[in-house]
């Protein structure tokens, strides 16, 4: 059993522009009906307004983005920089302050900042600090939750990576701006303790939902309603109503993940993963479901 009455999954996007084809929202209720896609061409500001002012009561909100940058590996987000924050809310505030003049919750100013640019991989350029020791870059720095994801069979990417179709850096940075604007409105687990009632935001990784729905890591993306129906059935969910043919993977990610949130939210293990310490919760956060 779970105390939540609604489950909202948000497939996020860090792309430029006022409205994003890559943002998709889907919601499921606790009664067990089919998940429903909230059809709209969303802006990031509209999602912020929904979460702040118009969220259904007792909603578990899953955001498909990294809610923080790696910290534990270097004891700092930006080692060697005197202004590096010491916790996730401080990081959100810093990012929003530097990017304050950008419309659409953009965050390009972060990557252009002379003190921060060396920590990111951007286009053909890999900054000298992309790796923790400044030497072997590899795939970049990872949070503890991303190591847990990898152990479960996923292939996570560093939030400092801004390159390629699988990059998560731009979406995470824009999402952190939104999280800053939601302070005082919605708690973000585990940076904030799980409240006894009301709504809460958690970080999600849609590939985790796909794995638990019987997909492999290489087949995590779903592009037909038939495949989506099969995956939903594994989670104990009815199929999407009156749907057939092709579906874009942003929509299928959101639909599958909100049904997954409903199926696992009552599992105490999800809220107490082995690698989650108070320091990790405060600085890096965690991906819900990474146990």
Q: Which helix (H) or strand (E) holds 238?
A: none
Question: b vs e for 163-182, b when ≥16 Cβ sit within 10 Å of the residue's Cβ?
Answer: beeebbbbbbbbbbbbbbbb
Q: What is the pLDDT of residue 148?
A: 95
Domain 6-67+182-271 indexed as CATH 1.10.10: no
Q: For the chain, what are the domain ranges?
A: 6-67+182-271, 88-181
Which SS3 state, helix, strand or coil, does residue 206 take?
helix
Q: Which stretches of the chain score pLDDT less than 50?
A: 135-136
Question: In angstroms, how far is CA 21 from the centroid of its own chain?
Answer: 17
pLDDT of amino acid 126: 75
> From CA 18, how far away is CA 207, in angstroms rounded?
27
pLDDT at residue 165, rounded to an integer: 61
pLDDT confidence of residue 258:
98
Question: Cβ-count burial of 156 within 10 angstroms (0-12 exposed, 13-18 middle, 19+ buried)?
Answer: buried
Look up residue 263 and give its two tokens. Answer: 């199926």
Residue with tokens 């810093």: 94
Supply the pLDDT for residue 44: 97
Query: Can you give the pTM of this predicted structure?
Result: 0.95
- CA dist., res. 26 & res. 9, Å (int): 5
Q: What was the pLDDT predicted at 135?
A: 45
Contact 67, 145 (CB under 8 A): no
């Amino acid at each position: 059993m779970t105390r939540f009455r609604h489950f909202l999954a948000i497939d996020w996007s860090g792309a430029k522009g006022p409205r994003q084809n890559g943002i998709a929202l889907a919601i499921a209720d606790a009664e067990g009906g089919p998940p429903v896609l909230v059809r709209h061409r969303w802006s990031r500001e509209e999602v912020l307004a929904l979460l702040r002012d118009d969220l259904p009561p007792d909603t578990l909100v899953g955001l498909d983005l990294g809610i923080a940058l790696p910290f534990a590996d270097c004891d700092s987000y930006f080692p060697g920089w005197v202004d590096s924050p010491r916790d996730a809310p401080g990081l959100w505030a810093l990012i929003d302050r530097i990017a304050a003049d950008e419309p659409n919750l953009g965050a390009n100013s972060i990557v252009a900042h002379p003190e921060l640019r060396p920590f990111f991989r951007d286009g053909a350029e890999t900054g000298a600090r992309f790796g923790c020791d400044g030497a072997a870059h590899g795939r970049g720095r990872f949070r503890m939750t991303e190591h847990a994801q990898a152990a479960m069979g996923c292939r996570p990417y560093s939030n400092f990576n801004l390159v390629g179709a699988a990059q998560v850096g731009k979406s995470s940075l824009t999402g952190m701006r939104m999280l800053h604007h939601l302070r005082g409105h919605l708690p973000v687990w585990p940076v904030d303790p799980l409240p006894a009632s009301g709504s809460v935001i958690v970080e999600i990784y849609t590939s985790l939902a796909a794995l638990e729905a019987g997909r492999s890591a290489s087949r995590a993306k779903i592009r037909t309603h038939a495949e989506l129906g099969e995956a939903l059935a594994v989670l104990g969910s009815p199929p999407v109503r009156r749907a057939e043919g092709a579906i874009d993977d942003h929509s299928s990610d959101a639909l599958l993940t909100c049904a997954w949130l409903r199926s696992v939210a009552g599992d105490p293990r999800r809220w107490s993963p082995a690698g989650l310490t108070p320091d990790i919760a405060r600085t890096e956060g965690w991906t819900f479901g990474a146990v």
